[in-house]
Amino acid sequence: MGLFDDLSRFLENRLEEFLRNNPHLELEALLEQLRQQEEDTLKLVADLQLQEKRSQEDILATAQEIQRWHIRVQKAKNANRQDLVGPAEEREAALLREGNQLWGHMQGLKERLEQSKELLGKIQARRQEVQTKAAQAQTARTKAQTQQRIETNGWWNSTTSSSGGFDDLEEKFRRWETQDELEQMKRNLGK
């Protein structure tokens, strides 16, 4: 396992170094990570909202059941049916405990939902910041590439015009050398 750990560390270090040397890619990776976090948080918010709705439905159903057993307790007391009053009161108390647990669970869901919504807002704000930085980096990179092209083209154009100067010089030398050869031939013929 030591070899794999070393290899893993080496690759992570190389990736970090590469991203440091290419900050626009680092911003893109961060944007992708934030997009994924936003997507996951949106799913969590939707799931918590669904759980909250179910919890509210369970609380409502339990409240209706408590009400039904409360009425039964009263009926049994009015009819002087002590054999039914005790068990009905126990059922009503058990339902009240269940309702309290459901209420506590729903309150926990609401807190988690609020925290998730706050987190979503923070992620979206951070994503906006990173998108702005990425746009600025892209603009700077484009400007640098344009400047580099201008400098490169300037170098190329100055070289081209200079090489035109070299062509003139070449032409002058050819004329002179040709003239010199002609004079040499005339001298040789005159001998």
pTM: 0.60
| 174-184 tens-digit pLDDT | 888 888 887 88
Amino acid at site 7: L
pLDDT of residue 155: 54
Give the whole-angstrom CA distance, residue 135 versus residue 15: 22
**The pair of three-digit structure tokens given for residue 80, joined into one six-digit string:** 């002087």
| Between residues 134 and 67, the one the model is more confident about | 67
Percent of the chain surpassing pLDDT 90: 48
Quick one: 36 exposed, middle or buried, by C-beta within 10 A (0-12, 13-18, 19+)? exposed
* 26 SS3 class: helix
Give the whole-angstrom CA distance, residue 52 versus residue 100: 15
Weakest mean pLDDT among 93-107, 116-130, 133-147: 133-147
pLDDT of residue 188: 77
